[in-house]
């Protein structure tokens, strides 16, 4: 992938000094040279034999590349307007990390195709959403990216702190854990880039709403689509595991509420919580 700036408007603010919101200035974002060599064949239910957990993470593998490239384009377009050295360095790290995420996850689509899944429905929906977003103001796109990154950090914490991926296929498990680690590592970057553009509170709120709707809507839609194609959608065990993930065990949905309320606090900054 070639990383290029797609430019933007002429009236942008140029940040030439450290600002009060740059809490992550002393953090180093490490760009790791990685290459996951996926196995030739993968069990159909590669997460503990669980259709729900498998298709939840299948959906992530499938949809992440386009989302990551969208993030890279919009964040990189701001790089030339940021002159504060620590933030500029972190933005470069963010761009390279996200580009690697996209490249590594893009390998997985072929595995799903070999297993007989029809992927057009999920990918077409994702393409429609991203195309629609890019028709909106570029500031709102940045706000949506910051909001999406906030929710992604919560999912990353759940992945790393729970047994969701216990006994999963080792290479795919390692890829997801590596991705989760780096999401937590660069969790403040998109937000800080947004702050260099606008500190408007309503813009931040709108971005969070779009980010949550995008992540939760697309992830659930693709998971249900793959479960249906796998003829597992109406199994009681699948719905029980789905309820555990969202409500009773990992509590992803219940944890999302305070996580988003924290984002709405006027003095919010991602680095305030380690």
Is the per-residue pLDDT at 14 higher than 90?
Answer: no
Give the pLDDT band (50/70/90) at residue 8. Answer: very low
When the pLDDT of each residue in the chain is averaged and rounded to a whole number, the result is: 89
User: What is the value of pTM for the model shown?
Assistant: 0.88
Question: Would you say residue 19 lies in a domain?
Answer: no
Whole-number pLDDT of residue 271 = 87
Question: Would you say residue 163 lies in a domain?
Answer: yes
Question: Would you say residue 22 lies in a domain?
Answer: no
Is the per-residue pLDDT at 41 higher than 80?
Answer: yes
> Which of 2-11, 146-155, 187-196 is predicted with the least confidence, judged by mean pLDDT?
2-11
Question: Would you say residue 32 lies in a domain?
Answer: no
- For 262, the domain range is 51-272
Give the pLDDT band (50/70/90) at residue 21. Answer: very low
pLDDT tens, position by position, 184-200: 999 999 999 999 999 99
Is the per-residue pLDDT at 139 higher than 90?
Answer: yes
Is the per-residue pLDDT at 18 higher than 50?
Answer: no
Rounded to 5 degrees, φ, ψ at 137 are -55, 140
Q: At what angle do helices 51-76 and 120-134 cross, to 10 degrees?
A: 30
Question: Would you say residue 84 lies in a domain?
Answer: yes
The one-character DSSP state at 85 is H
Distance CA 153, CA 211 (A): 12
Question: Would you say residue 228 lies in a domain?
Answer: yes
Rounded to 5 degrees, φ, ψ at 82 are -110, 115
Say if CB 149 and CB 169 are below 8 A apart: no
Whole-number pLDDT of residue 267 = 92
Question: Would you say residue 24 lies in a domain?
Answer: no
Of the candidates 225, 224, 251, 229, the residue with the CA atom closest to the CA atom of residue 239:
224
Question: Would you say residue 3 lies in a domain?
Answer: no
For 46, other C-beta atoms within 10 Å of its C-beta total 22
Say if CB 67 and CB 130 are below 8 A apart: yes
Number of domains into which the chain is organized: 1
Q: N- to C-terminal Cα distance for the chain?
A: 32
Give the pLDDT band (50/70/90) at residue 26. Answer: low
pLDDT tens, position by position, 47-56: 999 999 999 9
């Amino acid at each position: 992938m070639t990383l290029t700036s797609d430019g933007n408007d002429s009236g942008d603010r140029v940040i030439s000094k450290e600002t009060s919101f740059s809490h992550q200035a002393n953090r180093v974002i490490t760009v790791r040279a990685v290459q996951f060599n996926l196995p030739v064949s993968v069990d159909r239910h590669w997460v503990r034999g669980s259709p729900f957990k498998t298709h939840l993470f299948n959906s992530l593998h499938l949809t992440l590349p386009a989302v990551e490239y969208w993030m890279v384009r919009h964040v990189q377009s701001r790089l030339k307007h940021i002159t504060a050295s620590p933030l500029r360095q972190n933005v470069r790290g963010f761009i390279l990390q996200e580009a690697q995420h996209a490249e590594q996850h893009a390998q997985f689509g072929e595995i799903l195709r070999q297993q007989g899944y029809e992927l057009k429905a999920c990918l077409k929906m994702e393409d429609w959403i991203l195309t629609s977003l890019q028709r909106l103001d570029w500031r709102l796109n940045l706000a949506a990216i910051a909001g999406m990154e906030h929710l992604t950090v919560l999912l990353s914490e759940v992945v790393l702190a729970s047994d969701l991926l216990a006994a999963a296929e080792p290479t795919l498990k390692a890829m997801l854990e590596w991705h989760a680690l780096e999401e937590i590592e660069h969790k403040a970057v998109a937000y800080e880039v947004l702050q260099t553009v606008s500190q408007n509170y309503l813009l931040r709120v709108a971005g969070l709403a779009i980010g949550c709707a995008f992540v939760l809507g697309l992830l659930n839609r693709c998971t249900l689509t793959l479960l249906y194609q796998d003829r597992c959608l109406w199994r009681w065990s699948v719905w029980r595991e789905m309820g555990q993930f969202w409500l009773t065990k990992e509590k992803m949905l219940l944890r999302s509420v305070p996580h988003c309320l924290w984002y709405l606090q006027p003095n919010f900054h991602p680095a305030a919580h380690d």
